[in-house]
Amino acid sequence: MRVDTAFSDYRCESTNNNEVHIEISMEHLYRAIKSAHDTDNVLMRLMKKGVTPTLSLSIDKLSHYNSRFTIEQDVPCRPQKQTYTDDFRGPDLPYRDVTIQLPNLNRLKIVLEKLRILDNFVTIRADYRGTLEFSILNDHVGVRTSFDGLDTEAKEGATGQVVVDSRQLIRLFQVPDITAKGYLSICNHNCLAFYAFFETYNSEPAENSEHLVFIIPSKML
């Protein structure tokens, strides 16, 4: 990820080509970043608190009385050697039957929260016409929600379907709080890939910006 994707100002100094690799809990990092959802002034520092390496976030906020205050969030981390990170490889995806742009992410999260209450698994289906469908069917209830007219990348006649853990799906869509645009790729009966595109400080279009990829395997029921 390029520096200007996430930072307006940046300085890093190390003997390793000015790079520092750390291992961090995404759950802890998300909780810290969530405190900054309504501000654009966050100072992030890698430091030691006692003997513990820490990613420290200083979040500048404005109170209801228009006075400034700062929230400090500390996230423990573990530095890693270059030889360790060199072994990391991006996941290899099988053939993507359908790639489809997601609808309004806040609206989608509301739908998924309601589905999660009804069942532990959600069936996701998309087709080349731009229809994205989320459904649940069990002995007690049957529910289906569809979104139409979405942008797609697929061959004519193509459809894709996966069954995924609804709890994993909810955790996945917490990420759009900091994304500009999201896409789903469905590898039929194999896995679901979520592409989260970030806005950058140089106002680059989302399609050309950096992105993260999250993968959930399909369940066979």
Which tens digit of pLDDT belongs to each residue from 164-175?
A: 998 888 877 765
- Is residue 92 a part of any domain in this protein? no
Of 40, 55, 85, which residue sits at a domain end?
A: 85
User: Averaged over 132-150, what is the pLDDT?
Assistant: 92
- pLDDT at site 205: 42
CATH at residue 177? 3.70.10.10
Contact 101, 80 (CB under 8 A): no
**Are residues 124 and 209 both part of a single domain?**
yes
CA distance 204 to 141: 44
Averaged pLDDT for residues 144-152: 94
Residue 46 lies in a domain: yes
Q: Is residue 28 part of a domain?
A: yes
Tokens 């999260």 identify what position? Answer: 109
Question: Do both 68 and 141 map to the same domain?
Answer: no
Same-domain check for residues 102 and 126:
yes
Question: What pTM, to 2 d.p., does this model score?
Answer: 0.71
Residues 70 and 106 in one domain: no
Query: How many separate domains does the chain show?
Result: 2
Average pLDDT of the chain is 83
Q: Are residues 117 and 190 in the same domain?
A: yes
142 CB contacts (<8 Å, ≥6 apart)?
135, 136
Strand partners, 164: 122
Q: Which domain holds residue 50?
A: 3-85
* Structure confidence at residue 204 as a pLDDT band (50, 70, 90): very low
Q: Is 135 in the same domain as 176?
A: yes
User: Within this chain, do residues 25 and 103 fall inside the same structural domain, yes or no?
Assistant: no
